[in-house]
Amino acid sequence: MQNREGQKVPSVVFRTRGNGEWKDIHSDDIFKGRTVVVFALPGAFTPTCSSTHLPRYNELAPVLFENGVDEIVCLSVNDAFVMDAWKKDQEADNITLIPDGNGEFTEGMGMLVDKSDLGFGRRSWRYSMLVHDGVIEKMFIEPDLPGDPFEVSDADTLLAYINPRARKPRSVSLITKPGCPFCARAKAMLEAHGMPYEEIVVGQDATIRSVRAISGRETVPQVFIDGDYIGGSEELVAWFAEHAQNAA
């Protein structure tokens, strides 16, 4: 794998799909006159790529945009149909998924590797980079180890390079059930404070047994923030009041 910091990105044409039609996108359309984050990975729908790599970039995208990034590109040696289906499956609205179907860009980056032992053929090594006006400023290349290492090309590492003091969104989960007014109140509070959350709906995503096992209670909502158990809507009010006081 080759570190190409200070060099221009390869000049290629990507064959993509949009609105059910083929659309050719030149690399200049992506990079020229813009600041772009690129993260490349071995394949759509694969475990690490789907569970961690892509979702975290999508989650931190608003912060990256606030810190001068114009676009975030996920690149893989997959065809356009696969990448389009993966984007819909992941609901990755903040990310532009680019299919490098023939591996031309990846080969030009010196990142094309042989994964025939997995039945993948030639794929991209995992890496990320920050590109200004087509010139690579910084690359984070995964170490040359067996398997599929994932240590340095993550979104948090790249954000820390761009702005180590950037404020990341809190991780918030909310257990609710349909028709619950206290759940609606908790969601409204989180939204009013600009805190995106993941909603776990009782009867759809979990059962009361799960609520009891996780929180020790059988009521909803149950709120969790950054690994801490907050409680119901009243406890959430107190949590916001405490944090407002500490901020003052």
Q: Within 10 A of 198 (CB to CB), how many other CB atoms are there?
A: 11
**Which residue do the tokens 């039945």 mark?**
119
- List pLDDT tens digits, range 135-167: 999 999 999 998 889 999 999 999 999 999 999
Burial of 155 per CB tally in 10 Å (0-12, 13-18, 19+): buried
- List pLDDT tens digits, range 105-141: 999 999 999 988 888 889 999 999 999 999 999 999 9
235: left (phi over 0), alpha (psi -120 to 50) or beta: alpha
Cβ atoms of 139 and 129 within 8 Å: the answer is: yes
- Residue 77 to residue 99: CA distance in whole angstroms: 6
State the catalytic residues. Answer: 49
Confidence of residue 93 (pLDDT cuts 50, 70, 90): very high
- Residue 125 to residue 182: CA distance in whole angstroms: 47
CATH of 172-247, one of 3.40.30.10, 3.40.50.2300, 3.60.70.12, 3.40.50.1370: 3.40.30.10
Rg (CA), the chain: 21
Name the pTM for this structure.
Answer: 0.84
Q: Residue ranges per domain, the chain? A: 13-162, 172-247
**247 pLDDT above the threshold of 80:** no
- Please tell me the class of the 13-162 domain: alpha beta
Question: Is the model more confident about 39 or about 248?
Answer: 39
- Using CA atoms of 180, 186, 188, 190 in order, give the dihedral in degrees to the nearest 10: -150
Please report the pLDDT score of residue 248 as a whole number. 61
pLDDT more than 90, % of the chain: 88
Query: Do the domains at 13-162 and 172-247 have one common CATH topology?
Result: yes
Cβ atoms of 148 and 126 within 8 Å: the answer is: yes
**246 pLDDT above the threshold of 80:** no
- List pLDDT tens digits, range 191-243: 999 899 999 999 999 999 999 999 999 999 999 999 999 999 999 999 999 98
Residue 94 in tokens: 């903040």
- List pLDDT tens digits, range 11-39: 999 999 888 889 999 999 999 999 999 99
* Spatial CA neighbour of 76 closest among 35, 118, 46: 46
- List pLDDT tens digits, range 50-88: 999 999 999 999 999 999 999 999 999 999 999 999 999
Instruction: Using the CB atoms, write b or e for 36-69: b if 16+ within 10 Å.
Output: bbbbbbbbbebebbbeebbbebbbbbebbeeeeb
